[in-house]
Amino acid sequence: MTCSEVEFDALFLAHYEGVYRLLYRIVGAREDAEDLAQETFLRLARHGQPDQEPHVRAWLYRVATNLAYNLLRSEGRRQRRQQAYGAANGETETDPIEIAARQDERAAVRRALASLPERQAQLLLLRHAGLSYRELAAVIGVASGSVGTLLARAEAAFEKAYRAASREEGGRGHGTM
């Protein structure tokens, strides 16, 4: 699918906020979320949405989550490398929100998500972002009849991981689960 500039602008305005929120939940830093959101729409502008994917929102969210997880992977490598070399190069940016009051809980939630298989974490985040079962099915490539089962499993896995992560926080996690 290719679209005119007017159509593209309409899509951008309709979906930007949702894409940004989704990205922010994953990467947790404004600058990265903005960059990745721009990149997501750049891909839409450049390549268009494939014809076989009729749900533009699902397509955008899939591209966005893939970009975000790619970033997390490369960040993980960077941090591991820094630890290995003991390098403190002053490049690690501190997200001010991370030092706010709910820091512990956020950390536990992030750790729990990170410990899940990527597809399960993606499924939870995309559902939380408001995708329908049909859209989720399109994103992860399954029949929409399977989405309920996959979501139920993912939620159970998250619950377990979150409890473990909260314990690691030294009982500081304030989640209700």
Note whether 169 binds another protein by CB under 8 A: no
CA distance 81 to 60: 32
Sign of CA dihedral 7, 39, 129, 58: positive
Select the residue interacting with another protein from 3, 12, 142, 169 (CB under 8 A): 12
**Kind and range of the H or E element at 36?**
helix 30-47
Note whether 59 binds another protein by CB under 8 A: no
By rule CB under 8 A, what string of x and - marks binding of each residue 113-152 to another protein?
-----------xx--x---xx----------xxxxxxxxx
Note whether 7 binds another protein by CB under 8 A: no
CA distance 49 to 19: 15
- Buried b / exposed e over 119-136, threshold 16 CB at 10 Å, is ebbbbbbbbebebeeebb
**3-class secondary-structure state, position 82:** helix
Work out how close the CB of 162 gets to another protein at its nearest, in angstroms, rounded to a whole number.
6
Where does 25-155 show beta strands of DSSP type E? none
Burial zone of 75 (CB within 10 Å; 0-12 exposed, 13-18 middle, 19+ buried): middle
Select the residue interacting with another protein from 7, 76, 102, 167 (CB under 8 A): 102
By rule CB under 8 A, what string of x and - marks binding of each residue 70-89 to another protein?
xxxxxx-xx--x--------
Question: How many positions of this chain bind another protein (CB under 8 A)?
Answer: 68
* Residues engaged in binding another protein (CB under 8 A): 9, 12-13, 16-17, 20-21, 24-25, 27-28, 30, 32-39, 41-43, 45-46, 67-68, 70-75, 77-78, 81, 91-93, 97, 102, 105-106, 109-110, 112, 124-125, 128, 132-133, 144-152, 155-156, 158-159, 162, 175-177
